[in-house]
Structures are given as C-alpha cells and as structure tokens.
Amino acid sequence: MVKLEVCVDDALGLAEAVVGGADRVELCAALALGGLTPSVGLMEQAARMPIPCYPIIRPRSGDFVFTATDVAVMKADIRAARALGLPGVVLGASRADGRLDAAVLSDLVAEAHGLDLTLHRAVDLCPDVEEAVETAIALGFRRILSSGGAKTASEGIDRLALMMATAKGRLIIMPGSGVSLETLPALAVLPLSEVHASCAAPLPIGGVPLAFGFQSLHDKRTDCATVAALKAALKAL
C-alpha cells in the first residue's frame, strides 16, 4: 500500500491530517515559503499524535546554502526534536552550485543519529540527480522528497523515474508538490511507495486580519476530507 505523508504548519492542520488518515506528517511552519522549522510548541503537540511526525529543519526562507550559524541553529533544533520524542527529521543543504552539501549534511546527520531521515526538496536544485541520490544513500537517508526538479511532481515524472531507477530500492523516492486527486493518475505510472501532499483547502479571508497584513490572500490549511479522499485513491492503485 502506498503511504501518504501530509505536510502541515499549524495545530489544526495536524489534527486534520491525523483524522483524515495520514500515515505520517511533515511538520512545518510557513508552508507558503516551502516550510520552515516548526515551533517547539507545535513539535510538542505532534509528539502526542498517534502517527509519526517529522519536523523539517530549515531555519530560514530562501536558499539552502547554510552558514555555520545556520547549522548551529539546525543542530539545536534537531536536539529539540529528539528531546520531545519525535522519530525523524527532514533535512537538506546545498552548495552554491546547487549540488548537495555533503559536509553540512554529514554534520546534521550525525546530530540526528538514530532518527529517521528524509532529504527535502533541496535535491530538486541539483544539476546531477543521480549523484544526488548516491550522496543521499551514502549519508544514510531513508527517503528523498522530490518534485523531480519541476514545479510539481506530475511535471517532473521523468526525473522522478530516473531517481527511482538510480536508487534501486536502497531508499524511497517520495513524489511531492502538487500531489492531489487530479494529479495522482499521472504519478501512478511510477512505482510509488510513498507520496507527499498538503491536502489543503483555502481558508476564509478578509476583515481586520487581512487589512492589517496578518493574513495573506492565499492562506490554506490541511483538510481531513481531502486527506481521506487521497488516502482512498492511493489504496485503490
């Protein structure tokens, strides 16, 4: 059966993912920015959930070229996730040329020793995806989240297929970005074992929060019915 990972960025979305039947949660802040490290409070909530929740460890928006100070923050966040009992973390780091920064990742992986490891979409910036897959395997990652180097996973099918062929079952390639009931048929040509989606619905907008800049025009939150529908579609594959 294909597992469904759902990304959430608040406590209500976390609850919706669990009720909807998600197999795992990627825990974030600021999904509109691609996901940042969640607060300790949200991680504490996630640790009480009946399904595994993995926080993304990303200290800021922008690129994935991290300074020594960034790395120190990331290592502290990994320690916080471990202390709260979360079973895995989501990591990534790039060099200026887009290749994975194996040195920084090795440092982060060492800090996360014993936790399950997902490599995030920093991999989609890599010029040589076969090299990236081999690097991830050598570092000990269990899975790679990728859109296949495209804006959405359904547009990146050829590269996702190449990643899966390169991995040869040594780790999981998990398509993510734009995964929905509508795009799942296109992705079903791949040998899927896990997929990643937000399963989000738009939130009501307007009033004082919007006028004061406390809300954007595109705010969304994970919806349990959408999670359940995608989970059912995955079971039917």
Q: Report, as an integer, the average pLDDT of 183-212.
A: 84
Cα(29)–Cα(36) distance, rounded to whole angstroms? 5
Residue 103 has pLDDT above 70, yes or no: yes
- String of DSSP letters for 41-69: HHHHHHHTSSS-EEEB---SSS-S---HH
Taking the model in full, what pTM does it have?
0.94
Tokens read off for 139:
């570092």
Cα(183)–Cα(167) distance, rounded to whole angstroms? 24
Q: Report, as an integer, the average pLDDT of 79-101.
A: 98
- Residue 74, sorted as left (phi over 0), alpha (psi -120 to 50) or beta, turns out to be alpha
- 6-10, 29-33, 188-192, 212-216: segment of lowest average pLDDT: 212-216
Check if the beta carbon of residue 58 is closer than 8 Å to that of residue 38. Answer: no
- 31-40, 153-162, 215-224: segment of lowest average pLDDT: 215-224
Residue 137 has pLDDT above 60, yes or no: yes
Q: Report, as an integer, the average pLDDT of 213-222.
A: 70
149: CB partners within 8 A, 6+ apart: 124, 125, 126, 129, 156, 159
Could you give the residue ranges of the DSSP H alpha helices within the chain?
Answer: 11-20, 40-47, 68-83, 102-111, 129-139, 157-167, 184-187, 207-211, 224-235
Which residue in the block uniquely carries the two structure tokens 């990236």?
132
Look up the CATH number of domain 3-235: 3.20.20.380
Identify any residues that bridge with 220 across adjacent strands, giving them in sequence order: 202
Check if the beta carbon of residue 57 is closer than 8 Å to that of residue 74. Answer: yes
At 202, is the pLDDT very low, low, confident or very high (cuts 50, 70, 90)? confident
User: 45, 42, 55: which is closest to 7 by C-alpha?
Assistant: 55
Question: In the structure, how many helices (H) and strands (E) does the chain have?
Answer: 9, 10
At 105, is the pLDDT very low, low, confident or very high (cuts 50, 70, 90)? very high
Q: What is the pLDDT of residue 206?
A: 59
Instruction: Report the chain's mean pLDDT, rounded to a whole number.
Output: 95
